[in-house]
Amino acid sequence: MTIKILVLSNYNRILALRPEAEIFFGLKKMGLEITIMTPGGSEYAKRFEAAGIKVIDFLSRKKFDRKEIAFIRNTIIEQKIQIIHLFNSRSIINGIKAAKGLDVKIVLYRGYTGNIHWYDPTAYLKYLHPRVDKIFCNSKAVQDQINKQLLFNNSRTITINKGHSLEWYKDITPLKLEEIPENSFTLCCTANDRPMKGITYLIEAINLIPKEIPIHLLIAGGSKEHFENLDIIKNAKKRDKIHVLGFRDDSLRIVSASDVFVSSSIKGESITKSVIEAMCLGTTPLITDITGNRELHMEGAEELVVPAKNAKALADGMMFLYNNREQCKKWGKDAQKHIDQNVNHMDTVEKTYKMYMDLVS
């Protein structure tokens, strides 16, 4: 039986959306008929069409927009769509409205923990809407959080990690930065400077490292000029050890050249994509114990998980890895195996396929 799927998302950014977009190439090979609404000029739109996936040049830009809702509804009817998979806020609200009264299943994606509450009326416009058939949760933490709000209908959620493939990273070559002294032990963090990322704790951790220890921290992502913690860094005791790089197209090359990837997040994360990327590159991850990263914990590597909001614990983790270089390298190789075995792209494709099949059967 051929199942007809309609996907609404924005695939303008290749690297950021790759784990999501690649799912549909796999599902197409498994025999599903897929139509994707996304900006038609994007690189992924061209790739989809080349793979035989129909692309409709469309992106929801306003919530509750009548013309957008009508357009989505007409597409569902004309193409006899059986499942619509909605990935962002505007698409979710308009897609649910468009499906009203139609014999079509609705799947929503959720990749963030928090901000859904049963007592919030707006939650019933999206994830708690009774018309929703399935919620595709990117981590167990997300599923647990939504289940608490659904109260009596937990069957609507499913955990499917956005898996990665080591093949995606095989051509990335390490890039050593000239401003970093030779023989330095480099830590890298790629993150936008938002409070949930815990950058202040990361900076304080570097301040706690003895001055003579050649540990350097590289922070990539977001705007260098508008980095919120820039003043804190300028006043930091070890400011010469902290390097704010801003947005870089070659950030994965910098991660690949680093000894350790550090994630100091304090809340909100699902399963952190930047950590997965680092692990795929063989860079050892030092992460906080937020629930979203549960799937990234490696057996026998408890030293790589430290309490959130704890600069001292972060600093101790850094020093442990600095003093145990061979073990650090081994954990980098183990990290690749962990992703391949536990957060694998093909597992995502197969679980998504089964979810679709269960819905239409």
Per-residue model confidence as pLDDT tens digits over 279-337: 999 999 999 999 988 899 999 999 999 999 999 999 999 999 999 999 999 999 999 99
* More confident: 294 or 358: 358
Q: What is the mean pLDDT of residues 163-180?
A: 94
Confidence of residue 221 (pLDDT cuts 50, 70, 90): confident
Model pLDDT, residue 132: 97
Distance CA(298)–CA(339), nearest Å, equals 10
Second-level CATH architecture of 167-342: 3-Layer(aba) Sandwich (3.40)
Query: Within 13 A of 130's CA, how many CA atoms are on the CB side?
Result: 2
* Residues linked to residue 189 through DSSP beta bridges, in sequence order: 219
Model pLDDT, residue 228: 57
Confidence of residue 7 (pLDDT cuts 50, 70, 90): very high
Distance CA(252)–CA(257), nearest Å, equals 9
Express as a percent the part of the chain with pLDDT over 90: 78
Per-residue model confidence as pLDDT tens digits over 125-151: 999 999 999 999 999 999 999 999 987
Q: What is the mean pLDDT of residues 213-240?
A: 72
Tokens read off for 272: 């952190």
Model pLDDT, residue 152: 72
The answer for residues whose C-beta is within 8 angstroms of residue 35's C-beta and 6 or more apart is 4, 5, 6, 7, 53, 54, 55, 56, 75, 79, 81
The answer for residues whose C-beta is within 8 angstroms of residue 74's C-beta and 6 or more apart is none
CATH superfamily placement of domain 4-163+344-360:
Glycogen Phosphorylase B; (3.40.50.2000)
Confidence of residue 13 (pLDDT cuts 50, 70, 90): confident
Mean pLDDT of the chain: 92
96 within 8 A of 131, measured Cβ to Cβ: yes
* Residues linked to residue 215 through DSSP beta bridges, in sequence order: 185
Which string of b and e fits 128-164 if b means at least 16 CB within 10 Å?
A: beeebbbbbbbbbbbbbbbbeebeeeeebbbbbbbbb
Model pLDDT, residue 127: 96
Express as a percent the part of the chain with pLDDT over 70: 95
Per-residue model confidence as pLDDT tens digits over 26-63: 999 999 999 999 999 889 999 999 999 999 999 999 99
Distance CA(241)–CA(14), nearest Å, equals 32
Phi, psi of 127 (to 5 degrees): -70, -25
Sign of CA dihedral 89, 265, 336, 334: negative
Confidence of residue 238 (pLDDT cuts 50, 70, 90): confident
Q: What is the mean pLDDT of residues 227-255?
A: 78
Extents of the domains making up the chain = 4-163+344-360, 167-342
25 within 8 A of 31, measured Cβ to Cβ: no
Model pLDDT, residue 69: 98
Query: What pTM did the predictor assign?
Result: 0.92
Per-residue model confidence as pLDDT tens digits over 53-106: 999 999 999 999 999 999 999 999 999 999 999 999 999 999 999 999 999 999
Distance CA(1)–CA(11), nearest Å, equals 28
Evaluate whether 4-163+344-360 and 167-342 have a shared fold.
yes
Q: What is the mean pLDDT of residues 251-259?
A: 96
